[in-house]
Structure 1
Amino acid sequence: MAKSDGCDYFKRTSNFWIISVTLAVGYFTCIVFAPEKIPFQYLGPFGTFCTYLVENHSELMYKGWWAAFAIHVFESLVALKVCSNKGIHSVSTRCLWFVQTFLFGFASLGHLLKYDPKRPKQQ
């Protein structure tokens, strides 16, 4: 097996985080931009809570959505900086880290932060 110098290290986040973050961000997006599409009456107490938020705090929810977006952009930029610091210089690998961190946030960035290029990877 060929040895790698670490310049192309990439680890995909787990399916749990991919599904959880996708559903949560998707639901939050729907609540903010298209609340009429969500059948709150079928969601029990959670639907009642979400209806309350939509009716009474829609501006705060809107600002919160943009804050979450900005945080994900910031995390993605941090991922690029961490890639540089850890010797990951492959453009395609850096793009993978950027996109994955933008989509899944700290669930992705955590893998990159744990990566230690000085120690050999355990197989």
Structure 2
Amino acid sequence: MLADKVSSTYFRRTSFFWVTFVIGSLGYYTLLMFWPQSVPYKSLGPLGNFSKYLVDNYYSHLYVGYWLAWGLHLAEALYSIKICSDKGITNVNVQFKWAFQTFLFGMPSLWHLWSYEPEQKDK
């Protein structure tokens, strides 16, 4: 009975490294898309030079890539709900936590969910 309770409420947070990495990179990408004039390109060294080149020459590609990235995060979040159901995580609040975390952080969250092996019920 305890195994059922644990499997229906299993949730594990993404590591601090991935949280900061994803927030930082998507935050930087958002700045490039909507406020490119506020990015201190010269202070960022090679990353700044490369970013300035992309913004000046391939802005439309960056724009499409930006929305594709968020679309991929949405698809991953929806997929996480299916994985939750398949692994016996039936608590709706826990499924929402997985979906929300996966929407924000993507694959690092899904890795935790994929690696989860619920205990098998004895028949």
Is the shorter-chain TM-score for this pair beyond 0.5, marking a shared fold?
Answer: yes
> Is the aligned partner of 1:3 residue 2:5?
no
Higher helix share: 2
- 1:73-92 matched pairs, under 5 angstroms: 73-92=74-93
The count of aligned residue pairs is: 118
- Spell out structure 1 runs of 4+ moving beyond 3 A: none
Distance in 2 (alpha carbons) for counterparts of 1:40 and 1:4: 53
User: Which residue does 2:110 correspond to in 1?
Assistant: 109
> Is the aligned partner of 1:62 residue 2:59?
no
User: Which residue does 1:51 correspond to in 2?
Assistant: 52
- Residue 61 of structure 1: how far off its partner (Å): 0.2
**1:62 is aligned with what amino acid?**
Y
Alpha-carbon RMSD:
1.2
Give the structure-2-normalised TM-score: 0.92
Deviations 1:49-81 (A, max 9, x none): 100000000000000001001100000011000
Distance in 1 (alpha carbons) for counterparts of 2:93 and 2:26: 26
Give the structure-1-normalised TM-score: 0.92
**2:99 is aligned with what amino acid?**
F
- Residue 118 of structure 1: how far off its partner (Å): 2.2
Distance in 2 (alpha carbons) for counterparts of 1:79 and 1:11: 13
Deviations 1:29-66 (A, max 9, x none): 11111111111011112111100000000000000001
